[in-house]
Amino acid sequence: MVNSQITVPSATLADIDTPFLALDIDKMDRNVARLSTKLAAMGAAIRPHLKTVKSIDASNRILASKSAPATVSTLKEAEELAAAGFSNLLYAVGIDPIKLPRVIALRRQGIDIAILLDSEFQAHAVVKACTEASTDIPVLIEIDCDGHRGGILADAPKLLQIAAILEPRQLLRGVLNHAGESYSCDNAEDLIACAENERATAVAAANNLINAGFDCAVVSIGSSPTAHFSENLSGVTEVRAGVYVFFDLVMAGIGVCQIEDIALSVVTTVIGHREDKGWIMIDAGWMALSRDRGTARQKVDQGYGLVCDLAGVPIPGLIVAQVSQEHGQIAVRADSDAPLPQLPIGTRLRILPNHACATGAQHQQYHVFSSQQSEARADSQLQQFTVSAVWPRIKGW
């Protein structure tokens, strides 16, 4: 099991070896509360997708209890969360039949874990495994609402065919979809429409199953953009979202959050200058920031990350323009007339990520700090931010 919170000696963001992952707990708490409040007012349950945080400590902070619903993207996450006492899980990746023994092992531990599939082949494999193990695994059928990824159409004959395969053992729990195309939206009107299409498609699939005589207790929808822009959740039983906990530059570019809401950053140090090229060199390359270029197709291209001072305030015009394995090249973005600032070697900076999930995956742990408490201080530590805890991340599959 991944160890929970590590006790650390008194340290600040200014004196830990860089690069490292910093988590502003106050912003994270506000982000979590924002979506929870919205969905509660609409009468929908939230099933947070823990693929973003991949942390026992963060999960304890996000979920109301150990039995609260949660989503995972790997069985390793499920196993670590189960060992920590979390008991209501959805493995929201199409099931590889070879992994079914691990799912069965979790079920036998008393973990209510459900799986996802979208083919007759998978359905037959699940029924066979359950029959041989004398156990049952709840199944959700994945519905395609926008052609983004996997799933079947809500009115496809295959939907009822899969349900019929699962029926003898009554394994069907419901349907699930994900509006992946919402990440290509950049205005409220399109996001609202995308959210409604996500809802309507899942509900239509559920109704088709029910009208054919099958049970469909769960109608699970969600992405962080649509969760925030949904105006109607009738017929939906739960909403999934993951990156909303931290937010990132892609979410800001879509219009789901503001730059100031981003809770995750990579702390890095200036290690050199190339005045002839207009570069400031830092010790955070793609191994620390990831290669994700999710903002490249948005109206504002943030390179490999937005450059901020140690207090988290963006420095005008500065982005991480290029990366190699352990080096980053900070430069003024092409469409900016801001001057290249004088940042001496040793200067600490914070880089806001394009994609919080991808950047988080590059690191073993979070260094947790409170910007709210730091802002309230009037001494010389004001801009350094004391690290209150180190939270390990779950690694592997």
3-state secondary structure 42-95: CCCEEEEECCCCCCHHHHHHHCCCCCCCEEECCHHHHHHHHHCCCCEEEEEEEC
Provide the pLDDT for residue 384.
74
Determine the 3-state secondary structure of 215 from DSSP: coil
Q: How far apart are CA 194 and CA 146, in angstroms?
A: 9
Neighbouring C-alpha atoms within 13 Å toward the C-beta of 339? 3
Asked if 100 and 117 touch (Cβ cutoff 8 Å), the reply is: no
* Whether residues 201 and 269 fall in one domain: no
Instruction: With respect to residue 210, please indicate whether it lies within any of the assigned structural domains.
Output: yes
Neighbouring-strand partners of residue 267: 20, 350
* Whether residues 94 and 234 fall in one domain: yes
H helices then E strands: how many in the chain? 12, 18
Of 241, 276, 306, the residue that ends a domain is 241
Range of the domain at 120: 87-241
Whole-prediction pTM: 0.94
* Whether residues 228 and 282 fall in one domain: no
Cβ-Cβ contacts under 8 Å for 21 (sequence gap 6 or more): 264, 265, 266, 267, 359, 360, 362, 363, 365, 366, 367
* Whether residues 272 and 369 fall in one domain: yes
Rounded to 10 degrees, the C-alpha dihedral 64/236/70/259 comes to -80
Our count of domains for the chain comes to 2
- Rounded CA Rg of the chain: 22
Instruction: With respect to residue 338, please indicate whether it lies within any of the assigned structural domains.
Output: yes
* Whether residues 263 and 229 fall in one domain: no
Instruction: With respect to residue 61, please indicate whether it lies within any of the assigned structural domains.
Output: no
- Count of residues making up the chain: 397
Instruction: With respect to residue 380, please indicate whether it lies within any of the assigned structural domains.
Output: yes
Instruction: With respect to residue 24, please indicate whether it lies within any of the assigned structural domains.
Output: no
CB atoms within 10 A of CB 215: 14
Instruction: With respect to residue 34, please indicate whether it lies within any of the assigned structural domains.
Output: no
Residue 157, domain CATH: 3.20.20.10
Angstrom CA distances, 46 to 25, 34, 135, 321, 386, stand at: 20, 12, 28, 37, 32
Instruction: With respect to residue 378, please indicate whether it lies within any of the assigned structural domains.
Output: yes
* Whether residues 123 and 236 fall in one domain: yes
* Whether residues 213 and 285 fall in one domain: no
Provide the pLDDT for residue 149.
85
* Whether residues 101 and 236 fall in one domain: yes
* Whether residues 198 and 305 fall in one domain: no
* Whether residues 233 and 265 fall in one domain: no
Cβ-Cβ contacts under 8 Å for 47 (sequence gap 6 or more): 69, 70, 71, 90, 220, 222, 238, 239, 240
Q: Closest by alpha carbon to 220, among 94, 69, 85? A: 69
Instruction: With respect to residue 37, please indicate whether it lies within any of the assigned structural domains.
Output: no
- All residue ranges of the chain with pLDDT < 50 are 1-2, 376-382
Angstrom CA distances, 205 to 48, 138, 190, 375, stand at: 22, 17, 23, 50
Residue 318, domain CATH: 2.40.37.20
Of 241, 272, 303, the residue that ends a domain is 241
* Whether residues 193 and 327 fall in one domain: no
CA 100 to chain centre: 24
* Whether residues 268 and 327 fall in one domain: yes
Give CB contacts under 8 A, 24+ apart, made by 153-160: 154/201, 154/202, 154/204, 154/205, 154/208, 155/204, 155/205, 155/208, 158/119, 158/120, 159/205, 159/208, 159/209, 160/208, 160/209, 160/212, 160/214
CA 309 to chain centre: 25
